[in-house]
Amino acid sequence: MKVTMVGTGYVGLVSGACLAEMGNDVLCLDVNAEKIRLLQAGEIPIHEPGLDVMVERNVKAGRLRFTTDVARAVAHGTIQFIAVGTPADEDGSADLQYVLAAARDIGRLMTDHKVVVDKSTVPVGTADKVNAAIREELAARGVAVEYAVVSNPEFLKEGAAVEDFMRPDRIIIGADDESAIYLMRALYAPFQRKHERLVLMDVRSAELTKYAANAMLATRISFMNELALLAEKLGADIEQVRRGIGSDPRIGFEFLYAGCGYGGSCFPKDVKALISSAAEVEQPMRVVAAVQAANEAQKQVVVDRVTARFGSDLTGRRFALWGLAFKANTDDMREAPSRVVIGELLRRGAEIVAYDPGAMPQARRVFADCAGLSYAGAPMDALEAADALLILTEWKEFRSPDFASIKQLLKQPLVIDGRNLYEPKLVRSFGLEYVPIGR
Ligand SMILES: NC(=O)c1ccc[n+]([C@@H]2O[C@H](COP(=O)([O-])OP(=O)(O)OC[C@H]3O[C@@H](n4cnc5c(N)ncnc54)[C@H](O)[C@@H]3O)[C@@H](O)[C@H]2O)c1
C-alpha cells in the first residue's frame, strides 16, 4: 500500500519504518529540513532500539523514503497519516496548529481519494476539525475529491517503540467510513496474524481512548509516588507494598514503581490536555487534576532530599547525576525530572557532572553551555569528589554498579536514588548511605 507519514518524529519515523517493513511503500514527510537531510544521509535522529537497522533495511529496499516536498507527499499515499506534534498550549490544551496545517496541505493538494488518519494524540473533536480543514481547502479550489478521516491513536512506548508497533496490544480505529475501515484493516493485518487486536469504534471514542489510557497510567504512577512518601513516614517499604498489591490480578504489577515523577512528551501534556478538554465542557476531572499536582510535587523530591542534607545554598557542592532521559532506552528529555533537578541545583550554586548512556547529546542541546553542568564519559567518571550520587533514570547499566568503587570515589558516601534501583541492605553493606523513595 502507498502510505504517507506526515511528521517524521518518534511516532512518524517508527510507524513509517514498521509499515515499510511489512512491504508498504512509505514516504515520510517533515517540515524540519535538517531531520530529513540526516535521514537521507542514513542517520537516525532519535535513539530507539532496533530502529536504525530497520530504517536502513527498508531504505535499501526502496520501500522507505524521506522528503520535505509536501506536494510529493500528498500525491504519494492513499493513506495519509498525520503524526505531527501536539504540544501543550499555554492554557494546557493541545495545540492543534501542526495537525491542522497538515490537514490543510492535504486538502490543498490532493487530486484522488485519500484516507487521512490522525495518529497524533488529539482531543475529542479533532477529526471533525481535520475534516472541516480539508473540506474548506477543497471548496476553495472548487473541486470535489473523496476522502475519509480516521482516528488511529498510537500507543507505542519510547524505548520499545519498534517492538510495540510490530506487536501491538491493540490497534484502535475510530471510523465510520466502510472503505476507510477496510483499508485500515488491510494495512494492519500483518501486525496481528496470531489473533485480531483491532478495536473498532466511533471516532470520538477513539480520540478519548488515548487520553484515558495515558491518564490511567499517570494515575498509577502518582498514586504510588504519594503512597511511597506515606510509607516513609509510617516506616513501611513501598517495594513490599508494590509486590503485595501487584499480585492482585485486578491491579497487576505494571506501572506501580515509585520514583521521582513521570515525564516525557506524552503523560504530562496529555494529562493537561484532558483536564483542559474537560474544563471546556464544564466537567471537573478531580482525580486527573490531583495526578498532575502530585507529579509536579514529586519532581521536587530529589531536590528536597539534597537540600535537607546540604542546606538550600549549594555553593561549592558537587553532585554526580546518573540519568538525564525521562526514562530508560530513550534520548527524550521532554519534561524529564532531570530538568527540574538540574535547574534547581544549579540555581542554588551546585556543580553537576552528569552521565546518561543515550541522552547526553540531547542534554547538550537542552542546556547549551550552562555553567556548572558538565558531562562524564562513563558513569564512574561522574563520581569523583562528588558530595552525592543522584539517580534519575532506570537505565539497565545503572542497576548493578560496583558499590565499593562508588564508595571510594564519592567525597561523601551518599546515594539518593530517585528510581529505587537497589536493595537498600545491599547498598548499605558497602558503607554507603542510601536514600531511596518510600523504602
Ligand atoms: N513520542 C511518543 O512516545 C508518542 C506515543 C504515542 C503518541 N504520541 C503522539 O504522537 C504525536 C507525535 O509525537 P512525536 O513524539 O512523534 O513528536 P515529534 O516532535 O518527535 O515529531 C513530530 C514531527 O512533526 C513534524 N511536523 C510538524 N508539523 C509538520 C507538518 N505540517 N508537516 C510535516 N511535518 C511536520 C515536526 O517537525 C516533527 O519532526 C503527538 O501527538 C504525540 O502526543 C507520541
3-state SS, 72-140, equals HHHHHCCEEEECCCCCECCCCCECCHHHHHHHHHHHHHCCCCEEEEECCCCCCCHHHHHHHHHHHHHHH
3-state secondary structure of 150: strand
Band of the pLDDT at 299, cuts 50, 70, 90? very high
Q: Whose CA is nearest to atom 20 of ligand 1?
A: 9
How far, in Å, from the CA of 12 to the mean position of ligand 1?
A: 7
Query: Which grid cell is 79?
Result: 493513506
Asked whether the predicted pLDDT for residue 369 surpasses 90, the reply is: no
Residue 311, number of CB atoms within 10 A of its CB: 11
Pocket lining for ligand 1, CB < 6 angstroms:
6-12, 29-32, 35, 83-86, 98, 101-102, 120-121, 154, 156, 158, 265-266
Atom of ligand 1 nearest to the CA of 332: 1
Band of the pLDDT at 253, cuts 50, 70, 90? very high
Adjacency order of strands within the sheet including 114-118: 64-67, 25-29, 2-6, 79-82, 114-118, 147-151, 171-174, 198-201
How far, in Å, from the CA of 372 to the mean position of ligand 1?
A: 32
Q: What is the pTM of this model?
A: 0.94
Percentage with pLDDT > 70 across the chain: 100
For 262, phi then psi, to 5°, come to -90, 150
Write the single-letter amino acid at 171: I
Catalytic residues: 266
pLDDT at position 141, please?
Answer: 97
Q: Whose CA is nearest to atom 7 of ligand 1?
A: 154
pLDDT at position 270, please?
Answer: 97
Summary mean pLDDT of the chain:
97
Asked whether the predicted pLDDT for residue 256 surpasses 90, the reply is: yes
For 283, phi then psi, to 5°, come to -115, 105
Q: Answer yes or no: are the C-beta atoms of 122 and 94 closer than 8 Å.
A: yes
- Rounded average pLDDT over 211-230: 98
Helices 10-21, 51-60: crossing angle, 10 deg rounding: 50
- Rounded average pLDDT over 358-386: 95
Q: Whose CA is nearest to atom 31 of ligand 1?
A: 102
Dihedral over Cα of 212, 218, 222, 223: its sign = positive
DSSP-assigned letter for residue 159: T
How far, in Å, from the CA of 313 to the mean position of ligand 1?
A: 40
Find, among 178, 194, 202, 231, the residue nearest to 128 by Cα: 202
Band of the pLDDT at 394, cuts 50, 70, 90? very high
| Pocket mutation for ligand 1, best pick of 84, 93, 172 (most atoms within 8 Å of C-beta) | 84
Query: Which grid cell is 371?
Result: 555553567
Band of the pLDDT at 29, cuts 50, 70, 90? very high
Q: Whose CA is nearest to atom 18 of ligand 1?
A: 9
Q: 248 CB contacts (<8 Å, ≥6 apart)? A: none
How far, in Å, from the CA of 360 to the mean position of ligand 1?
A: 21
pLDDT at position 261, please?
Answer: 97
- Rounded average pLDDT over 301-315: 98
For the CA atoms of 135, 141, 144, 146, the dihedral, rounded to the nearest 10 degrees, stands at -50
